[in-house]
Amino acid sequence: MTEVIEKTEITEKAYLAEKRLNFGEFGKNRLAVSGLLLIAFLCILALFAPRIAPHDPLAQRLDSGLLFPSTEYPFGTDELGRCIFSRVIYGTRISLGIGLLVVAATSVAGTSLGLLSGYRGGLLDEVIMRVVDIVMAFPNIILALVIAGLLGPGFSSVVLALAFTQWPAYARLVRGQVLSLRKRAFVEAARALRPSSFYIMRKHILPNCMEPVIVLGTLEIAHVIIFASALSFLGLGIQAPDPEWGSMLKAGIPFLRTVSHLTFFPGLMIIFTVFAFNFAGDGLRDSLGQPADQEVLAR
Amino acid sequence: MALLKVEGLKKYYYSGLFKKEIHRAVDGISFEIGRGKTLGLVGKSGCGKSTLGRTVLRLLEPTAGRVLFDGQDISGFKGSALKNLGTKMQIIFQNPESCLNPRMKVYDAIAEPLRLHRLCERDEERGRIQELIEAVSLSEELLFRYPGELSGGQLQRVAIARVLGMKPEFIVADEPTSMLDPLVQAQVLSLLKKLQTEYGISFLFISHDMQVVEWMSDEIAFMEEGKIVGFR
Amino acid sequence: MSSPLLSIEDLNISFKTSKGIVKANQGISLEVREEEILGLIGETGCGKTTLGKAILRLLSGKATLEGKIVYRGTDLLTLPEKEMRRFRGKEIGIMLQNPSACLNPVLSAGSQIAEIYRYHEGMGKKEAEKKAGKMLELVGISSSRGCEYPHQFSGGMLQRVMVAIGLALRPGLLIADEPTRGLDTDTKLQISELIAGLVRKENSSMLLITHDLEIAGRLADRIAVMYAGEIVEIGKVAEILSNPKHPYTLDLLHSLPGKGFRTVSGQPPSLVSPPSGCRYHPRCSFRLEACSQVHPALMGFEGERLTRCFLSEKGRINETAAQPFLNAQSALKCEEE
């Protein structure tokens, strides 16, 4: 709200003090912090890929195919002579891009539907929740495969396929939160002011159910990146020559016995990325709902 | 004429398939509250007194019966009429720890009704809030804190200041002090009394504590299982 | 005079928090005697629950404890954790606040009591359940309700279950933390009388932690009043209620509904940076000059009475006879004297 920002008396410090994600607790968790650092590192790779990568990831040099790692090609080259190091770095852009895009889309959509479902209740709630049940009843990867298969391979179909399978988790989570928040006195007090239901959802309910959504989102990024790689690996995702880790793995399979660096480095990147988001997400989840001075509050 | 007149108010809950069981939370209640008067409502927990308070305000829709506020039947109110009613009829809750949004600063919590109902110009807001927290004798430094940093008594004062900003004519006080320590209870109760004489507010004061109700009220209604069994 | 069952000597408890060190308990010295009910009175946040939990060493690792807590000759603070576990429940029972949060929602009430017998006394399942049923009968719940789950009980009934759990092993001392909070008036009286009755019947002792002076006055033999982490007054119930020596106790009494709701301005101080001198001086209506500078010690006064106030030395009662808002009882006393 703009009027909140306009008030000069509000100090930033106080705003930060009440974040219920307890960052002090988070900071003590070494795995979580290292996950966060790794994410920061990956973000830098993605943002500055053109500066960091020594070669054009798409440039083929057939005379220097399947080279082992060297100073010029730190991770070696593939069968078409493309620099694997550069391709892995550019691959960060695609994987993080898909992860962020899918999580952004699904969290917004899932949260809004969960809010509506929980706050309005009744028939709307029934309909939304049954749809959620139906989508969740299918194994995610199979559903994504079907959708990606129907839409044809490519970046947008990966995003759509994954988004379609992932939103129900947010809707369920948020609905549960809303149901418990709705009974709290401050929501009733807000209702006594007789604003629109949209206002109550936006001002009073949404801000109080954001933390679990953030945690879920962080963990989901890891999920989504694995799924996207799997789709690409199966040939339904990002297509060659675009440097996606999953499709790089697939392209490296025929050479697995002889020149394993083709599959080793993309595989390593997938593992690192997934670990990073999982650790950070776990750390966030553990720090959630732990008031800093529990003892003092309980007194 | 009475400010608030309740006639045959009922709130039933149906449970079980085929509406087998009916829970009569409020079962045909009638009473009147005059301007600037307090009706105390005493009853055991679970007798429906909180439901009654909410039904009177139409936070819960009544199953049957009428609520006349200032001579008008509020049960048909919609849109702006209902919104307007929000400033005139208000409620204070029992549990101070949950009656304020934990994500809203005290300042914003008090300012919210003013903004929502455009009760004052933007540049007057600060001054108005200053008046309000002085009226409930809270110190200014608390304005930019979050509810989690305040004590129960302070929170209840903030809740009162917030409601007071709308200059309500009628307040349902739902056990406002039952969770507070005796010293703080005494502070909050005398604050409510002081505000009542200053602003001429009518109260429906719900409590299970006979002594508190006796001290607060002009008239006392006793409630048992959804019905009023006696007045005093 | 009976010998002490539990004696706490110069106990200090502090917590490290982001806002500084919270001194929750400072220099607490108390004793609970055999077959005695001691009421510990104080407002929310004065440190009384911390004290109750400290006796059983139930505080988290963030707490630092100094001093001695001696139960029948054993210093509980130096005991290894393994032996401490034997004390909990068996020697000292505890009823924590908020029963709905303390009971396991997926276990029936009866089985939660039976669990205690199985764990502590190694009883078989059948035997333990039979005993649990008896315990429930004792607190006024028919044993057939033992198979019901916590959400099926009302607040008062849950509190009865808590009593049963607290007393299951017939401990020598029961620590009851706010057993009547959030209950309505009738239930409050029933529950408090039930607890006290059972404790007396078993010849046990009880530390009754509450903010409710009326309940404490009804049940306790002696009362200790706590303010901002310190004991400010200890004495026999009748003496404290009829003739409070500490201004805080006096104000507490006056704030009761039956005694005119006289209000005291101000808030209890923060335990991170308590006021200098007497902790109550900013709110005290009998404040002397020295009060803001010198911290008064807990001083003996007429036998067993202890008060942490300078005025008690000079005999405040006479001095304040002129004060217009003195309660009727103490005014009468003054005339008699």
Residue C209 β-bridge partners: C40, C177
Kindly state whether residues C261 and C275 are assigned to the same domain. yes
Q: Across the interface, do B182 and C211 touch by the CB < 8 Å criterion?
A: yes
A122 within some domain = yes
Mean pLDDT for B59-88 is: 87
A217 within some domain = yes
Mean pLDDT for B193-207 is: 92
Mean pLDDT for C40-46 is: 84
Question: Quick count: other Cβ atoms within 10 Å of Cβ C39?
Answer: 25
Compare CB distances from A193 to B86, B104, B144 and report the shortest one's residue.
Answer: B86
Token pair recorded at residue B155: 């929170």
pLDDT band at B159 (very low <50, low <70, confident <90, very high): very high
Kindly state whether residues C32 and C81 are assigned to the same domain. yes
Is pLDDT above 50 for B204?
A: yes
pLDDT in tens, A94-145: 999 999 999 999 999 999 999 999 998 889 999 999 999 999 998 888 888 8
- pLDDT number for residue C302: 67
Q: Which residues of C touch B207 (CB under 8 A)?
A: none
| Burial of residue B1 (number of CB atoms within 10 Å: 0-12, 13-18, 19+) | exposed
A246 within some domain = yes
Q: Across the interface, do C212 and B187 touch by the CB < 8 Å criterion?
A: no
Integer angstrom CA distances of residue A263 from A98, A227, A255: 21, 17, 9
Is pLDDT above 90 for C265?
A: no
Residue of C13, C14, C16, C17 to mutate, interface with A, max A Cβ within 10 Å: C17
- pLDDT number for residue A199: 92
Kindly state whether residues C231 and C216 are assigned to the same domain. no
Question: Is C64 in CB contact (< 8 Å) with chain A?
Answer: no
pLDDT band at C303 (very low <50, low <70, confident <90, very high): low
Token pair recorded at residue C15: 């917590």
pLDDT band at C151 (very low <50, low <70, confident <90, very high): confident
* pTM exceeds 0.95: no
Question: What integer best gives the mean pLDDT of chain C?
Answer: 82
Residues above pLDDT 70, as percent of chain B: 97
- pLDDT number for residue B96: 81
Kindly state whether residues C116 and C197 are assigned to the same domain. yes
pLDDT band at A267 (very low <50, low <70, confident <90, very high): very high
Which residues, other chains included, contact C193 with Cβ-Cβ below 8 Å and sequence gap of 6+? C218, C219
Token pair recorded at residue C260: 């005119």
- pLDDT number for residue C181: 78
Compare CB distances from A293 to C18, C44, C49 and report the shortest one's residue.
Answer: C18
Higher pLDDT, C315 or A254: A254
Question: Is B215 in CB contact (< 8 Å) with chain C?
Answer: yes
- pLDDT number for residue B17: 65
**Secondary-structure class of domain B4-231 per CATH:** alpha beta
Kindly state whether residues C26 and C173 are assigned to the same domain. yes
Q: Across the interface, do A208 and B102 touch by the CB < 8 Å criterion?
A: yes
Integer angstrom CA distances of residue B226 from A172, B11, B212: 36, 9, 21
Contact B20, B12 (CB under 8 A): no
Domain holding A280, by residue range, is 84-289
CA distance, residue B105 to nearest chain C CA (Å): 19
Contact C178, C209 (CB under 8 A): yes
Kindly state whether residues C47 and C129 are assigned to the same domain. yes
Sequence ranges of the domains in chain B: 4-231
Q: Across the interface, do A292 and C62 touch by the CB < 8 Å criterion?
A: no
Question: Is A295 in CB contact (< 8 Å) with chain C?
Answer: yes
Kindly state whether residues C165 and C122 are assigned to the same domain. yes
Domain CATH for A99: 1.10.3720.10
Mean pLDDT for B57-80 is: 87
Tokens 């607890």 sit on residue: C195
CA distance, residue C261 to nearest chain B CA (Å): 5
pLDDT band at B201 (very low <50, low <70, confident <90, very high): very high
pLDDT in tens, C235-249: 999 888 888 888 888
Q: Which of A217, A223, A212 is nearest to A275 (CA)?
A: A223
For chain A positions 2-21, those within 8 Å of chain B (CB to CB) are 3-4, 7, 9-11, 14, 17-18, 20
Token pair recorded at residue C174: 């029961």
pLDDT band at C88 (very low <50, low <70, confident <90, very high): confident
A23 within some domain = no
Mean pLDDT for B188-205 is: 91
Kindly state whether residues C192 and C136 are assigned to the same domain. yes
| Burial of residue C100 (number of CB atoms within 10 Å: 0-12, 13-18, 19+) | middle
Question: What integer best gives the mean pLDDT of chain A?
Answer: 84
Instruction: Look at residues C186, C220, C254 and tell me which one is the last residue of a structural domain.
Output: C220
Instruction: Look at residues C165, C190, C220 and tell me which one is the last residue of a structural domain.
Output: C220
Q: Which of B8, B45, B14 is nearest to B30 (CA)?
A: B8
Kindly state whether residues C10 and C149 are assigned to the same domain. yes
CA distance, residue A296 to nearest chain C CA (Å): 8
Question: Is C255 in CB contact (< 8 Å) with chain B?
Answer: yes
Contact B5, B74 (CB under 8 A): no
Integer angstrom CA distances of residue C309 from A130, C40, C234, C290, C299: 68, 18, 12, 11, 8
Is pLDDT above 60 for B2?
A: yes
Domain holding C246, by residue range, is 226-336
Q: Across the interface, do B182 and C258 touch by the CB < 8 Å criterion?
A: no
Question: Is A194 in CB contact (< 8 Å) with chain B?
Answer: yes
Q: Which residues of C touch B215 (CB under 8 A)?
A: 257, 261
Residue of C14, C19, C40, C177 to mutate, interface with A, max A Cβ within 10 Å: C19
Q: Across the interface, do A299 and C18 touch by the CB < 8 Å criterion?
A: no
- pLDDT number for residue B19: 60
Q: Across the interface, do A18 and B149 touch by the CB < 8 Å criterion?
A: yes
For chain A, the domain total comes to 1
- pLDDT number for residue C86: 82
- pLDDT number for residue A126: 94
A33 within some domain = no
Is pLDDT above 90 for B102?
A: no
Higher pLDDT, C267 or B191: B191
Q: Which residues of C touch A24 (CB under 8 A)?
A: 18
Is pLDDT above 90 for C84?
A: no
Is pLDDT above 70 for A249?
A: yes
pLDDT in tens, C126-135: 899 888 999 9
Instruction: Look at residues C220, C245, C263 and tell me which one is the last residue of a structural domain.
Output: C220
Token pair recorded at residue C297: 């010690």
- pLDDT number for residue B18: 64
Kindly state whether residues C214 and C230 are assigned to the same domain. no
Compare CB distances from A14 to B89, B101, B144 and report the shortest one's residue.
Answer: B144
Instruction: Show the CA angle centred on residue B199, arms to residues B197 and B202, nearest 5°.
Output: 75
Instruction: Specify the DSSP element, H or E, that contains B23.
Output: strand B21-33
pLDDT band at C334 (very low <50, low <70, confident <90, very high): very low
Q: Which pairs count as long-range contacts for C315-318, CB under 8 Å and 24+ apart, including other chains?
A: C316/C245, C316/C286, C317/C243
Is pLDDT above 90 for A93?
A: yes
Q: Across the interface, do A299 and C45 touch by the CB < 8 Å criterion?
A: yes
Mean pLDDT for A7-28 is: 48
Tokens 């055999």 sit on residue: C34
A17 within some domain = no
Beta strand B72-73 pairing with B227-231: unpaired
Contact B130, B140 (CB under 8 A): yes
Question: Is B190 in CB contact (< 8 Å) with chain C?
Answer: yes
Q: Across the interface, do B183 and C267 touch by the CB < 8 Å criterion?
A: no
**Torsion C154-C155-C160-C166 (CA) sign:** positive
- pLDDT number for residue C323: 41
Domain CATH for C97: 3.40.50.300
- pLDDT number for residue C314: 57
Which amino acid type is present at position C147?
Answer: C
Higher pLDDT, C219 or A9: C219
Residue of B183, B189, B212 to mutate, interface with C, max C Cβ within 10 Å: B183
Classify the complex by whether its ipTM is higher than 0.85, answering yes or no.
yes
What does the DSSP 8-state code read for residue A201?
I
- pLDDT number for residue A295: 32
Q: Across the interface, do A185 and B149 touch by the CB < 8 Å criterion?
A: no
Chain C contact partners (≥3 CB pairs within 8 A): A, B
Q: Across the interface, do A293 and C17 touch by the CB < 8 Å criterion?
A: yes
DSSP secondary structure of B165-225 = TT--SEEEEESTTTTS-HHHHHHHHHHHHHHHHHHT-EEEEEES-HHHHHHH-SEEEEEET
Mean pLDDT for C60-72 is: 85
pLDDT in tens, B136-146: 888 888 888 88
For chain C, the domain total comes to 2
Dist. CA C223–CA C48, nearest whole Å:
13
